[in-house]
């Protein structure tokens, strides 16, 4: 699928079929995260691929969050490795690039998923402490985001971009001086 089409058709999918993702398709869409750039090429990441149904259900029941998360056959947990991430964003010595790096990887995944007919949904509203306890993720890790990954329950979920809910170009772009 054309990259502009993938960008335009990516929606936040909040209802999934339980259908499994064939292994070659899953490998293909996950591999785009491995190819993502990161500050100083540190690749400060690990991706926890949750397939086990009991674990996915525990995630929702114990840590709260959106029920559709457990509908999808896979949940991807984007784990940032705090001690590997480059620091110095914006000239601020302690500012870590970890959120930027992990977001690039997950964004790649969301677009590759569209091309394979899969849905995703950026989840930033999760209880990190609870999740880390449940999944035995060490303190050296920052969970940056999660996404379910699976086939959308209905084609209608891939509706056109809602232009009314978007800022306009004139609000977004300014040339040569900030306004």
Segment contacting a second copy by CB under 8 A, of 14-22, 86-94, 150-158: 86-94
Out of 19, 22, 34, 67, the residue judged to bind a second copy by CB under 8 A: 34
Q: Rounded CA gap, 121 and 168, in Å?
A: 23
Backbone CA torsion sign across 164, 170, 171, 173: positive
Angle at 50 between CA 5 and CA 25, to 5 degrees: 40
Binding to a second copy by CB under 8 A, coded x per residue (else -) over 12-31, reads x---------------x-xx
Neighbours of 6 (CB within 10 A): 16
Give me the least distance between CB of 90 and a second copy, in Å please. 3
Out of 23, 24, 156, 178, the residue judged to bind a second copy by CB under 8 A: 178
| Binding status of residue 144 toward a second copy by CB under 8 A | yes
Out of 25, 135, 157, 158, the residue judged to bind a second copy by CB under 8 A: 135
Contact yes or no for 122/12 (Cβ under 8 A): yes
| Binding status of residue 104 toward a second copy by CB under 8 A | yes
Which residues on neighbouring strands pair with residue 152, listed in sequence order? 16
Out of 23, 24, 52, 139, the residue judged to bind a second copy by CB under 8 A: 52
Out of 4, 23, 94, 156, the residue judged to bind a second copy by CB under 8 A: 4
Q: Rounded CA gap, 92 and 100, in Å?
A: 15
């Amino acid at each position: 699928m054309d990259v502009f089409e993938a960008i335009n058709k990516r929606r936040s999918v909040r209802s999934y079929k339980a259908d499994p993702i064939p292994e070659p398709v899953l490998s293909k869409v996950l591999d785009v995260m491995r190819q993502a750039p990161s500050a100083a090429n540190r690749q400060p990441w690990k991706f926890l691929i949750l397939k086990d149904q009991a674990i996915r259900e525990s995630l929702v029941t114990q840590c709260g969050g959106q029920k559709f998360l457990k509908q999808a056959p896979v949940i991807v947990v984007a784990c940032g490795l705090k001690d590997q991430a480059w620091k110095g964003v914006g000239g601020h010595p302690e500012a870590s690039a970890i959120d930027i790096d992990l977001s690039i990887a997950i964004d790649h995944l969301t677009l590759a998923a569209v091309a394979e007919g899969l849905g995703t949904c950026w989840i930033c509203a999760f209880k990190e402490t609870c999740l880390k306890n449940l999944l035995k993720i060490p303190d050296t890790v920052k969970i940056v985001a999660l996404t379910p990954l699976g086939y959308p329950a209905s084609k209608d979920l891939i509706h056109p971009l809602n232009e009314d809910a978007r800022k306009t170009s004139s609000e977004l772009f300014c040339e040569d001086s900030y306004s």
